[in-house]
Amino acid sequence: MPAPRIVHGLDELRTLAGQEIAVSPWREITQELIDRFAELSGDRQWIHVDPARCAAESPFGRTIAHGFLTLSLLSELSREAFAVEGDFKLRVNYGFNRVRFVSPVPSGSRIRARFAVQGVKEIEATLLVTVEVEGVSKPAVAAEWLIRFY
C-alpha cells in the first residue's frame, strides 16, 4: 500500500482548494464486516444480512452494505490516503453538510474514496468525498465532510 500523501499544514491545504488531494487504497466489503456492523448498529434488515433471501428477492442479487457502514469507513480511508501535519494536536470529525447514498455497495465488492478540498477556514476544512465501487460508474457515497484541527 502506498504511503499517505502528506500535506504540510492548513496553509498548504488551503492552496489545494478545488483539487483532488488523495485517493485511498481499495477496501473489500465482506459479508463478515456487514454482519459485524449490523450487530453493532442493531440494523439487521435482510438486505444486509440474509444472502439467501437477497439472492431470491433483492434487486441487487446479494446483500449490500449499510450506507452508514460505508460512511463510517471514511476515517480509515482518509488516514490511508492523506495526512495533514502542522501546528495542531488532532483532527476531529465535525460532521457533514451533505451526504448522499447514491448507489449500493454489494457484499464482496471493493470501495475506495476520493478526497478533494472544497475550502479551509481558520481551523476547519471542508472536503468533498466520493466513495467509488470498483467497476461501477455511479458513486456509492457523495459527501461534504467537515474536519477541524485543534
State how far the alpha carbon of 144 is from the alpha carbons of 25, 67, 80, 113, in Å: 20, 15, 19, 13
* Residue 22 domain flag: yes
Across the chain, mean pLDDT equals: 97
**pLDDT of res. 8:** 97
In contact, 60 and 48? CB cutoff 8 Å: no
Mind listing the pLDDT tens digit for each residue in 6-56? 999 999 999 999 999 999 999 999 999 999 999 999 999 999 999 999 999
Give the CATH number, domain containing residue 22: 3.10.129.10
Q: Does residue 78 belong to any structural domain of this protein?
A: yes
User: What's the number of CA atoms in the CB half-sphere (13 Å) around residue 16?
Assistant: 22
Domain tally for the chain?
1
Task: State how far Cα 61 lies from the chain centre.
Answer: 23
Tell whether 48 is covered by a domain: no
Asked, for residue 54, whether it belongs to a domain, the answer is: no
Q: Is residue 12 part of a domain?
A: yes
Question: Is residue 57 included in any domain, yes or no?
Answer: no
**Domain of residue 13, residue span:** 5-30+64-149
Q: Which residue has the cell 499517505?
A: 4
